[in-house]
Chains A and B, each alone.
Chain A
Amino acid sequence: MTAAGVRNPPGVLRPRSARFRTAAGLRLAWLYLASRRVPTALVALAACGALLRAALEWHWIAGPDPGAQQVPLLLEAGTASVIAVTAYSPFGEPERITGRWLPWLRVGTAVALTGAAVGMLAAGAAAAQLPDGNLAVLRNVAGTTGIGLLAAGVIGGALAWIGPMAYVVASEYALLARWTTPWVWPVRPPHDRGAAICAALVFTAGVAVAAARGARDPG
């Protein structure tokens, strides 16, 4: 009697079929998305889009004053906050140690949710005219989401919404005070290259931190 059979049980080392690997990958992705409450996040993003639709329908976004621009800005910050808190992980250390695909799942989720947020806000603004158009929505959502992901890396995923909230408060002041720095991109015109670059840099930094470290959560 030898232990050879135990070390190499028949069938275990057989290569997995492509179908099995696809199913396992999908299951892994689904479990990751479920653990981050991504389905609920999508509902919240859809609610932000619906709210934007209501704001346009009821003329909350009207008039030349800077206050009128605050509604889209606030809803963009709302979607960024929702995306940021999906970074919170309930598993902590065990997941970080064993999750080989974790960085890719984090990047994919953040980018996909950002795209979904832009799409839902654009859908909410369809058949109406946003003051700065959909290009500004893309820039603002991406940049603010980057801030949220950076905040998740610093203060934790569950409180990451504070980052976008603080930024939007600063942006509201900048709107009223007519600041022009590109780092406060919501105050810049939609085709402003400097603001777009700043927002893209912050989004890239946020996604990179989210991929490399994830949220700074206990456990």
Chain B
Amino acid sequence: MTTAVGSARSFGSMGPARLLRIELRRNTMIWMLPLLAVAFWFDCYHWVSADTPVWYPRAAELLDHELRDFSAFTAGVAAWVATRDSRRRTLDMVTSTPRPGWARLGATWVATTGWVLAAYLACVAVVYGVTAAKVTWGGPPWWPAAVCAVALVAVSAVGFAAGLFCPSRFTAPLVAILTLLLSSAIRSTSPYAMLWPTTNASPGNTGGLPVAPADAGVFYHVLPDLPIAQIMVLGGIGLAALGVVGLSRPAAGGPRPAIGGRWLRGAAAAVTVAGLAAAGTAAGLTGTARQGAYGVVIPALHDAASDRPIPYTPVCEYDGTVPVCLHPAYRAYLDVVTAAAAPLLREMAGLPGAPVRVAEVPSDVLTSTDDSNSTVWWAAGSAITGTPPVFRFPMPQFPPGPAGLTQLTEDVQEILAVTFVSDERLIPPGTDPGDGVQAQAAVELALLRPFDPQAGQDVGIMTPSSDAPSPEVAAAAGRFAALPAAARHAWLADHLGALRAGQVTLAELP
């Protein structure tokens, strides 16, 4: 008799672990792992490998690509495994077992989610490992990885609940496709849209969408406000879904749960309410979000310490013209930027306002965004300021590979030329510089033509229907470029102030 009681106790303590072990060994998600690995390699890994070797842009690919791919399959398979008892016609059999439905179904869900998280963490390890081998400064940001993990848990819970309550053969595919739709296609200017991490956000939306600068985590910390709200919402939704599973008497707990039915249902109700409260609170807080210069700010979650710049020692190069200094995170591009700026700096040497130093500055989302058409102006945030003058510029965005380095070279040259020749601060407010802008554009073109024959496409002088500069501007640029270097230099020395202020017309150019 004593022995029998001991065995029963032993069975009771070992039961959940054994059940979980069985579920882990026989879970459908195991068969999905090769597919998830292929999806990771095919999508996320390719984007990560192509990104600038800076921590945050690469980590953000987890949200943009990894979450989108994994969430669809996770939700679909979770819905599929939840329909197992209905599919196998074993519902009556399992509801009569001496275990509450929550514990039995919980083992299935934990096994499914556990396999997804294991696969996801392996992918995170690959992404961060590859990135660690490439970056020249900083450490890994953990918020994107945490948000992605919580999102996977949430979609797994919601998919599981959907499969449990709608045990149809169509539930899994529909849940999967809806998840993919949510991840890929939802566009909205509402601040609530950014609660789903993969939401496509256009720069410049005034709804407080998550526009992070390209150099997030370099000069300033990645603001944790939005990730905290996302974790609260997604975690809350996941908790609520699991709570609802515990509350479902007919399908999950059986008509009369044998062990602790009332107690468990009370706990399930508490979990549901807690989850909904967390999600509702975070959604409410997100409604107060505003776009800050370096990310989304949610006042109630904002820590002022996050606004402090990250200390760093710039890396500099001097090729005999002007020293060029970049943030150490961009050390790999120091040679390219120096080589790009040097010939223009030589041309500018001795002119009024010619920079004596080049320094990289942080990108500012607010100043680089044009509200009128929601596009980022590539030269925004650049300026020649200070005494002696320093050319300050945020690192432009450029694609990977050799083509990207070519574009970086062209962008640096164009930004430098435009910043040197045009200065909107010198134009009195409310006045139309008119032809003065055309003259500035012609001089910019003349400065850039030796290095970039296509420069006219980017200096802001395009005719409305063409990428080419207007014939008048092109003619003036050609005329100015044809001058001897000494004559050009002398004219600029005399007229640069007026040119910058928009007081020189095309006809007045030599």
Contact = CB atoms under 8 A, between A and B. Distances in A.
A158 B28 CA distance: 12
B193 to A, nearest CB: 11
B35 interface: yes
Contact of B46 (A81, A162, A168, A173): A173
Interface in A30-76: 37, 40-41, 44, 47, 51, 55, 59-60, 62, 67, 70-71, 74-75
Interface string A149-183: 00000000111011011101110110001000000
A161 B38 CA distance: 17
Task: Say whether chain A's binding surface is mostly helix, strand, loop, or mixed.
Answer: helix
A85 interface: yes
B211 to A, nearest CB: 15
Contact of A165 (B170, B176, B186): B176
A165 B80 contact: no
B39 A37 contact: no
A185 interface: no
B69 interface: yes
Interface string A116-144: 00000000000000000000000000000
A179 B267 CA distance: 52
A82 interface: yes
Contacts of B174: 44, 47, 78, 81-82
A203 interface: no
B8 interface: no
Q: Could you say which interface size class chain B belongs to?
A: 20 to 34
Interface string A188-219: 00000000000000000000000000000000
Contact of A173 (B42, B76, B169): B42
Contact of A161 (B46, B172, B184, B186): B172
Given A158-B169, A161-B76, A162-B76, A81 B187 contact: no
A77 interface: yes
Contact of A44 (B39, B68, B170): B170
Q: Could you say which interface size class chain A belongs to?
A: 35 or more
B73 A162 contact: yes
B173 A161 contact: yes
B315 interface: no
B43 A169 contact: yes
A74 B180 contact: yes
Given A78-B177, A177-B46, A169 B172 contact: no
B184 A81 contact: no
B181 A71 contact: yes
Contact of B187 (A60, A84, A166): A60
B87 interface: yes
Interface in B1-44: 28, 32, 35, 38-39, 42-43
A85 B169 contact: yes
Nearest to B174: A44
Given A78-B174, A82-B170, A169-B72, A162 B35 contact: yes
Nearest to A70: B184
A187 B170 CA distance: 27
Nearest to B170: A44
B407 interface: no
A37 B167 CA distance: 13
Contacts of B321: none
B200 interface: yes
A24 B172 CA distance: 34
Given A37-B170, A40-B168, A165 B181 contact: no
A74 B178 CA distance: 9
A219 to B, nearest CB: 11
Contacts of B304: none
B186 A169 contact: no
B76 A170 contact: no
B403 interface: no
A154 to B, nearest CB: 12
B43 A37 contact: no
B185 A166 contact: no
Contacts of B177: 74-75, 77-78, 81, 165
Contacts of B200: 67
A159 B80 contact: yes
Q: Most chain-A CB neighbours within 10 Å: which of B32, B46, B68, B177?
A: B177
Given A88-B169, A161-B176, A169 B80 contact: no
A191 B32 CA distance: 35
Contact of A67 (B32, B46, B185): B185
Nearest to B187: A60
Contacts of B69: 169
Contact of B185 (A74, A164, A165, A169): A74
A184 B424 CA distance: 48
B46 A165 contact: no
Interface in B194-234: 200
Interface in B257-300: none
Contact of A60 (B170, B172, B186): B186
B185 A55 contact: yes
Nearest to B202: A63
Contacts of B176: 81, 161, 165
A78 B185 CA distance: 14
B185 A60 contact: yes
Contacts of A75: 177, 181
Given A67-B187, A74-B177, 5 more contacts: A77-B180, A78-B181, A88-B169, A166-B39, A169-B39
24 contacts: A41-B170, A44-B170, A44-B174, A47-B174, A51-B181, A60-B186, A60-B187, A67-B187, A74-B184, A77-B177, A78-B181, A85-B173, A159-B28, A159-B80, A161-B173, A162-B32, A165-B176, A165-B180, A169-B72, A170-B42, A172-B43, A172-B68, A173-B43, A173-B46
Which 8 residue pairs across A and B have the least CB separation, nearest first? A161-B173, A81-B173, A78-B177, A71-B185, A70-B184, A173-B43, A85-B169, A74-B181
